[in-house]
Amino acid sequence: MTTLALHIPEVKSGDLILRAICEDDLDPLATFYAGPRSHFVGGPLERAECWRLIAGNLGHWALRGYGMWVISDRGTGDPMGVCGFIYREGWDEPELGWQVWDGYEGRGIAYRAAQAARAHGAANFGLDGVISYIAPDNARSQALARRLGADLEREGTLLGASCQVWRHPKSGEVAA
């Protein structure tokens, strides 16, 4: 039998650490997916479905060599959301995605995490100028995409749902 060893890099950026998801993240993940904002990212979901999200995230890292990180507070270690790359069956190309969990919104966490993930993805995974799928009624994520320098490229669909496809600038095109 072959044992699969995953290497999920840790990315440190200011007061944030992007780290591998683990089973200890189930409670905050399940809390988020039980809430109303989860409808933007496929929710609401039951706790067991959230456990499968954790396993799927680790499987994504194994299959693609990149994936989503948990955003954690560098000082406390508290998990505050997820950010990173998704390229599943049905996706047009790799996506930069983010979610900030309840109680952590409005602090610039998603912005800083997305900047760090995007820079790491361009430098280490060849993921430069990626897209973000954003629900047409998700004004907060649209505003974040604009702040990150992304442009609305087109209207589209993802897994049968309407979405907007936002294109992020390549690393050499990002304003300081």
| Residues 116, 12: Cα–Cα separation, whole Å | 8
In-domain check, residue 156? no
Of the pLDDT bands very low, low, confident and very high (cuts 50, 70, 90), residue 176 is very low
30-50, pLDDT tens digit by residue?
999 898 877 777 778 899 999
| Residues 166, 168: Cα–Cα separation, whole Å | 7
In-domain check, residue 143? no
56-75, pLDDT tens digit by residue?
999 999 999 999 999 999 99
88-143, pLDDT tens digit by residue?
998 999 999 999 998 999 999 999 999 999 999 999 999 999 999 999 999 999 99
Print the domain residue range for 36.
11-127
In-domain check, residue 113? yes
Cα radius of gyration (the chain): 15
How would DSSP label each residue in 44-86? ---HHHHHHHHHHHHHHHHHHS--EEEEEETTT--EEEEEEEE
Domains in the chain, number: 1
In-domain check, residue 147? no
**pLDDT value, residue 46:** 94
pTM above threshold 0.95: no
In-domain check, residue 134? no
In-domain check, residue 160? no
In-domain check, residue 136? no
CATH of the domain at 59: 3.40.630.30
